[in-house]
Structure 1
Amino acid sequence: MCYYVQQSAAIENVKRRFNAEVDNEETYLQSDFINGFAHPNIPIILNSSPGLITTDYTWGLLPSWAKDIEFRKNTLNARIESIDEKASFKNITHNRCLIIASAYYEWHWNDEKGKSKDKYQINSQDDEIFTFAGLYSSWTDPVSNEIKNTYTMVTTKANKIMSYVHNHKYRMPIMLKRNDESAWLDGSVKIEDFAFPYEGNLIAFQV
């Protein structure tokens, strides 16, 4: 699964890459190492507003029926193979987004229990700035009535490179090729059409 990413691209570069504006430049997140369990607001693009890069959504999806905010630690990722079966995701598969990144991180286990691990950084050799497939939702806190906007990252089975790196789960996030981004945002395109390993030009190196 994928819980750690890099989003090091400057605002102007991201705006130019997606031909879009940023909704709030003051809250734009730029960092070499981002921990998903901190529920960061990595910039995303919603299919409802493809001309806008939003910073108002945090990682870890809260379905509308969640009882409390702690639920989101379980929904950083969504497995595409079972996405139509899981209560957290099956009703929002039309709410699609692009999660903007410049790299992500995974650990190779050197023993069966992962007591010894090597950290790898994974980059695209095709695009300095790329996107992951995501789903988004909004949740209202039952106590404070505060609205939280959240998203999850969709994952699939690992390709050859990631089968070596992520050798205890054999999973990887769905990285979208540039010419597939508009198709992912198109709710009429079947979500299972994206249930394949990314075969673009990846590079993984130990850090």
Structure 2
Amino acid sequence: MSAPLTKVDSAIAGLSLSDEKPPSHTETEVKKEKKNRRLSSQADDVWNIKDLEEKQIEITLPIETQKTGWKLNTSPNTIEDKDILKLKLIDPPVKKIDLHFPLGLEVTARNLKGVTIKDALDAIYKQFKKKADDEMEQPYLAGFEWDKEECWTRLIVHQSKVSTAQQTPGDNSKKSKKKKKDEAA
């Protein structure tokens, strides 16, 4: 009584499974090229730490890393000299570097534009921010050391019991106030 239906929907009229064509060679090449999308956020002069090791390029540390006097369980923003936070942690700058503590803890500082001292301190602070002062034997950062014989790709973190920050003449501590009072008398 009824005839078989043909071309019911105009949207699929004339299409069949055999009409679909595989993607062309140029379309697959475009897809392959889009793997690394973050090229704009990377700096040109920033190295990968493994490349430095392969090419045997020596690493240098700024002396300012030894003078922070920073307590590991306090925010890096508490450091008095804010300018040192902007300095690169090592020269030549790297995208990431491991920071190794003598007791075995290891943290990684990352920054695609070159790891700064602040990036390193932030990574350390993240590990120690919940520790109380009495839980840490050596709560202050004494500095970083690079030992190429031990491991080319990481820095050793040194800690101390006392702050290594240099005291300024205009320090407002009780001792300096008492000293000024004694000198005036």
Please state which band the TM-score falls in when normalised by the shorter chain. under 0.3
Which of structures 1 and 2 has the bigger CA Rg? 2
Normalized per residue, which structure has more helix? Answer: 2
Q: Give the TM-score of the pair, scaled to structure 1.
A: 0.20
Normalized per residue, which structure has more strand? Answer: 1
